[in-house]
A and B are shown apart, each in its own frame.
Chain A
Amino acid sequence: MASVPSDKPRMPTPVKLLIAGGFGVGKTTMVGAVSEIKPLRTEEVLTDRSVGVDDLSGVERKTTTTVAMDFGRISVGDDYVLYLFGTPGQERFWFVWDELARGALGAVVLADTRRLSDCFPSVDYFERRGTPFVVAVNCFEGAPVYDLAEVKLALSLPPDIPVLLCDARRRASGKEVLITLVQHAYSRRPVAKV
């Protein structure tokens, strides 16, 4: 930039994608495989009171919890920058999920066929919230190989939810999952208001 502009400088618009799934399913691995930066960790210090209340009365009764989230970044052209967040695994952190899911374009639910039920809470959450999602089955070595239709059946997913196999360690595979997700989110987007 030659001079300092007096008005707001041009900046890309940030867009958020989520990578969810059970503990140890490869969320951070997938973030790292596609991110242009080494995955970073950010922490939210949370209290047992609802987030967003600017009230410090009763502060002595607050209990605080620190929730760590791993994330990465993908610059897409000059206008947008994608941030990928691995969601914190524990279900007691739903309120962090609410913040993460707000404004998110969509979510990848990573599944491991050895512990398929670990991804049920994520599937339920995004279905309930109406966040577009795809299910990516991370192919761990030695894990039983199921037909995708079987996985879909086991998760009792609606027919329009894409289910695909992936290798969370590989960039090309993560890229394919994210493209499938964005295409799905696009097809699912609400009709524009007039």
Chain B
Amino acid sequence: MNPDEQLYDEQVVRPYVISRGRTEARANLDLISLAVAIRQPTGLEVGLDPEHLAIVRLCRRPLSVAEIAAALDLPAGTVRVLLGDLLDSGFVAVQDPQPEVDVLDERMYRAVLDGLRAL
């Protein structure tokens, strides 16, 4: 963690410090893209911050970007950046929502309707 962090106003600067100034993740993750841990860190990895490790711990089961952000109290954009790192380093796998053009899939409508009726 950057020791300079404490010099800044936590509320405003912290998300950008955590993401090391990056505002755009390489992976174009949606708020509902799901992430699941596929490898557990040994704790000796270089370049993983506590927030990265917290995400891997959380994602023992698939969780959306929005859920991770809520659980860690981080802005969604920061979580996108961190997930991008974890995706690159092979700690998580990601499932994106269906692309808009595929919202024609009849199977999906049927499954969603069945699921809602069972509520």
Contact = CB atoms under 8 A, between A and B. Distances in A.
Contacts of A5: 38
B115 A80 contact: yes
Interface string A159-189: 0000000000001000100110011011001
B24 to A, nearest CB: 4
Interface of A: 4-5, 8-9, 11-16, 34, 40-45, 47, 52-54, 56, 64, 66, 69, 71, 73-77, 79-83, 85, 99-100, 102-103, 105, 171, 175, 178-179, 182-183, 185-186, 189-190, 192-193
B32 A77 contact: no
Contacts of B12: 64
Given A15-B98, A56-B23, A81-B34, A179 B64 contact: no
Contact of A77 (B98, B101, B111): B111
Interface of B: 12, 15, 21, 23-24, 30-34, 36, 38-39, 62, 64-67, 69-71, 75-78, 93, 95-101, 103-104, 106, 108-109, 111-119
Query: For A14, A73, A171, A186, which residue has the most chain B Cβ atoms within 10 angstroms?
Result: A14
A182 B97 contact: no
B38 A4 contact: yes
B70 A9 contact: no
Nearest to A187: B109
A98 B21 CA distance: 25
Given A40-B70, A44-B77, A83-B64, A9 B36 contact: yes
Contact of B115 (A8, A43, A52, A76): A76
A15 B95 CA distance: 11
A34 B119 contact: yes
Given A54-B23, A186-B109, 18 more contacts: A12-B62, A14-B32, A15-B32, A16-B97, A42-B67, A43-B69, A54-B24, A69-B31, A76-B114, A79-B111, A80-B108, A80-B115, A82-B115, A85-B31, A85-B66, A171-B119, A182-B109, A185-B103
